[in-house]
Structure 1
Amino acid sequence: MTIDWHYALVEGDLGILSVAGYLGPEAARRFGGAIGWVVARGTGPVIVDLSELRSWSAEGQLAIAEAARRLAQAGRSLELAAIPADGSLVPAGDCPDIPVHSDLAAALATHAQPTSAPEDGQQQAWRTDGWPS
């Protein structure tokens, strides 16, 4: 089982990476690829929206911590929204701080961003083929 993802740049330089499925050992590599996509296509903080994630494994949590490190090396931060109810994130000691928000709206509120896509259609977005249109 793997994941699907959708990445959008919203007003300013804030990025939202939405992830759906199960973030386990098989999906950790695909998640790393998504983070590579994010690093190459933005400059600001990244909110990883996990509201469509069914669950994650220890390997999935390690992939999140590695993503935080990669983004920090690029001068960017990673935040989580709506972590799975079956576990909490326990990052390694060398991991940058990862703020956790109850949901995407709460995460966006900390950045004073609207909770929906811009009305003018200027939002840039990328997704896997399996992400619903």
Structure 2
Amino acid sequence: MTMQWHFEECNGTGVLSLSGFLSERVVDRFQGAFGWAYAHSSGAIILDLSDLRGWSPDGEAAIIDIAGKAAANRGPLVVCGLRQHLPLLILTNNAPDLLSLYPDLESALAAVGAGQPPTAPRSPT
């Protein structure tokens, strides 16, 4: 399975949506997609993972890597749609400082539009 991406602007916020599976084979494509989205959006970027079936350890590391790059310039990376895909790596390392998590795109867009502070990742209960 491969990964697909789609980018759109929603009221000044960039939304990069991923589908498929983020594996080692497509990490470069993902990083390129994020770089393209970052270059074409001056505001916040939301990474929508609602349609992503999962990721490999390399795919997850790529998410943390781009989150670090985004945080250095525009603040925490806004991520939505994780559902059951909240691996331990995202809850450890520097991820809580790098990610702002929301359950779905609608709540992420509302929070970004309202300038709400980021939500720290929490362990699923």
Bucket of the pairwise TM-score, normalised by the shorter protein: 0.7 to 0.9
Question: Could you tell me whether the CA contact under 8 Å between 2:38 and 2:45 is conserved in 1?
Answer: no
- Higher radius of gyration, 1 or 2: 1
- TM-score normalised by the chain length of structure 1: 0.73
**Cα distance between partner residues in 2 of 1:29 and 1:91:** 23
Question: Could you tell me whether the CA contact under 8 Å between 2:75 and 2:98 is conserved in 1?
Answer: no
- Aligned-pair identity (%): 33
Q: How many residues align?
A: 112
Gap change, CA 1:73 and 1:86, over 3 Å in 2: closer
1:12-27 alignment, distance < 5 Å: 12=12, 14-27=13-26
Deviations for 1:36-95, whole angstroms, at most 9, x for unmatched residues?
101211111111111110111111111111111222343354111111524432453388
Structure 2: 5+ residue stretches without partners:
115-125
**Cα distance between partner residues in 2 of 1:46 and 1:86:** 20
| Aligned position for 1:81 | 80
User: Higher relative contact order by CA 8 Å / sep ≥ 6: 1 or 2?
Assistant: 1
**Post-superposition offset of 1:30:** 0.8
**Cα distance between partner residues in 2 of 1:45 and 1:36:** 13
Q: Give me the CA root mean square deviation.
A: 2.1
